[in-house]
């Protein structure tokens, strides 16, 4: 018995919006004691703030050079916050820094966010319907997701600053 599996890829309309536009990203620079702290607190912070399970959190790249002096480290994480059937939010965090033997150093943390909306269709009339639906009705919902994601990124920035005991900006 032979089973033939045919996978057909459906065409899609994809919208990717930057959450923090026009600035593109938040940057936190810290110089002082325990700059490596971000490497241990970022995943629990993302899980708590985004209110998602660990299956939506990814540690894409973590590196450190323990032989150099001062020691250098780099990390990249992402978290997906589900919305509805068509939209989800991606939040990315990058950290790069150094630390010396006395546990002093510096770190630069960058936070970015993207709102990804994807409509799949089979026929050209479906494509026209999705575009009409998006521009007539769904844009309000996407705007609400965008505002909510912006609030979550602000909260994440404040929690990272609190972990490093950095005073908030006035």
Q: Which of 119, 87, 100, 125 is nearest to 36 (CA)?
A: 100
CB 89 within 8 A of CB 117: no
- What percentage of the chain exceeds 90 in pLDDT? 68
- pTM attached to this predicted model: 0.86
pLDDT mean over 67-80: 92
How do residues 87-128 score in pLDDT, each as one tens digit? 999 999 999 999 998 999 999 999 999 999 998 888 889 889
How high is the pLDDT of residue 169? 58
78-81 long-range CB contacts below 8 Å, 24 or more apart?
79/46, 79/47, 79/50, 79/52, 80/52, 80/56, 81/50, 81/51, 81/52, 81/56, 81/149, 81/152
């Amino acid at each position: 018995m032979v089973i033939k599996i045919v996978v057909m890829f459906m065409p899609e309309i994809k919208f990717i919006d930057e959450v923090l536009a026009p600035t593109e990203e938040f940057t936190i620079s810290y110089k002082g004691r325990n700059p490596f702290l971000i490497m241990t607190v970022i995943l629990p912070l993302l899980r708590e703030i985004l209110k998602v399970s660990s299956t939506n959190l990814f540690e894409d790249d973590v590196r450190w050079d323990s032989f150099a002096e001062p020691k250098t480290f780099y990390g990249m994480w992402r978290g997906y916050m589900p919305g509805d059937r068509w939209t989800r939010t991606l939040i990315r965090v990058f950290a790069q820094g150094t630390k010396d033997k006395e546990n002093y150093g510096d770190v630069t943390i960058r936070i970015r966010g993207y709102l990804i909306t994807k409509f799949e269709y089979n026929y050209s009339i479906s494509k026209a319907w999705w575009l009409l639906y998006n521009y007539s009705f769904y844009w309000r919902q996407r705007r609400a997701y965008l505002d909510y994601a912006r609030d979550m990124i602000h909260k994440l920035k404040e929690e990272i600053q609190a972990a490093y005991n950095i005073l908030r900006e006035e």
